[in-house]
A = this chain, B = another copy of it.
Amino acid sequence: MTDFAATKAMFDLPEGVIYLDGNSLGPLPSAAKDRVANMMTEEWGKMLITGWNKAGWMQKSTAVGNRIARLIGAEEDHVIMGDTLSIKVYQAVASALEMNPSRKVVLSDNGNFPSDLYIVQGLLKSLGAEYELRVVDPEVVAENITDDVAVLMLTEVDYRTGRKHDMKTLTAKAHEAGALTVWDLAHSAGALPVDLAGCKADFAVGCTYKYLNSGPGGPAFIYVAPRHAEVARPALSGWLGHEAPFAFELDYRPGRGIERMRVGTPPVIQLTSLEAAMDIWDQVDMQDLRAKSIELCDLFIAEVEAACPELELASPRDGDQRGSQVSFRFREGYAAMQALIERGVIGDFRAPDIMRFGFTPLYIDADDVRAAVAIVKDVMTNDLWDNDAYKQRAAVT
Chain A contact residues, CB within 8 Å of chain B: 12, 14, 17, 19, 21, 24-25, 27-28, 32-33, 36-37, 40-41, 44-46, 48-52, 57, 83-87, 90, 94, 98, 110, 113-115, 117-119, 121-123, 125-128, 135, 207, 209, 215-220, 233-242, 247-252, 263-271, 273, 341, 346, 348, 350-351
Contact = CB atoms under 8 A, between A and B. Distances in A.
A113 to B, nearest CB: 8
A350 B49 CA distance: 14
A35 to B, nearest CB: 10
11 contacts: A25-B49, A25-B51, A49-B346, A50-B346, A85-B265, A87-B264, A114-B248, A118-B241, A216-B268, A219-B267, A269-B273
A215 B44 contact: yes
Contacts of A114: 239, 242, 248-250
Contact of A265 (B17, B84, B117, B128): B84
Q: This chain: how many copies in the complex?
A: 2
Nearest to A128: B128
Given A27-B48, A36-B36, A86-B264, 15 more contacts: A12-B45, A14-B46, A21-B48, A25-B48, A28-B40, A32-B40, A33-B41, A57-B216, A83-B83, A85-B265, A114-B250, A118-B238, A135-B250, A215-B269, A269-B273
Contact of A264 (B37, B48, B85, B98): B85
A122 B207 CA distance: 24
A119 B90 CA distance: 14
A239 B115 contact: yes
A248 B207 CA distance: 18
Nearest to A135: B250
